[in-house]
Structure 1
């Protein structure tokens, strides 16, 4: 009985806490699986996914957090636009297709370029 009351009190206190907004940038080379990762986080069934052009914003609610996921296109001609969003991001997910060994040098160069940017310094990075 005490455990039930404790759980109810904990649940009510979570409802009263303010909603915290977080922005997470999802980047990586084209065809690395960024959109599939975002769909997995949203618990959307897997399906055919085409290339992402520009930036696709998606909201994910986890407890008292509202996570704004920015799924960025990874084609070479649009990677420069990632920089425009570094300032608003609280963290970055860098997606790598580890089975595509032929592009590992390109992955390394893109990751090094990302890490050199001053607006990325000190932010959490998940690879």
Structure 2
């Protein structure tokens, strides 16, 4: 059903999409966005709340919401689901100690109703 809604959105003239970038704290979400945007990534501060970056790609306008991953903010992730076409889950694969926590949070996220 999600794929169908994305396909319908692609047919619209507007072609604006909202993407949600989530994952544990210090996974690299903000760094990825900065890199895509051509910004310096010498030091990226933790995201408190959320940041929105808008990108133009082909005929599309992509609004990417970078949501903070701190434990105290995770219960608020569901508040960002409304009008979101896709969720991008970011994993720090180098941080082996947190892969279990990462998996558990992703499973909890997938259980949420949209």
Fold shared, TM-score > 0.5 on shorter chain: yes
Cross-structure match for 1:20: 15
Structure 2: any 5+ residue segments left out of the alignment? 1-11
CA RMSD in angstroms comes to 1.3
Cα deviation digits, residues 50-105 of structure 1 (max 9, x gap): 11000111101111111000000000000111100112210011100000000111
Residue matched to 1:91: 86
Of residues 55, 59, 64 in structure 2, which corresponds to 1:60?
A: 55
TM-score where L is the length of structure 2: 0.85
The number of aligned residues is: 103
Return the alpha-carbon distance in structure 2 between the equivalents of residues 71 and 51 of structure 1.
11
Counterpart Cα distance in 1 of 2:70 and 2:83:
21
Q: Which runs of 5+ in 1 are unaligned?
A: 1-16, 120-127
Q: After the TM superposition, which parts of structure 1 deviate over 4 Å for at least 4 consecutive aligned residues?
A: none
Kindly indicate whether residue 108 of structure 2 is the aligned counterpart of residue 113 of structure 1: yes
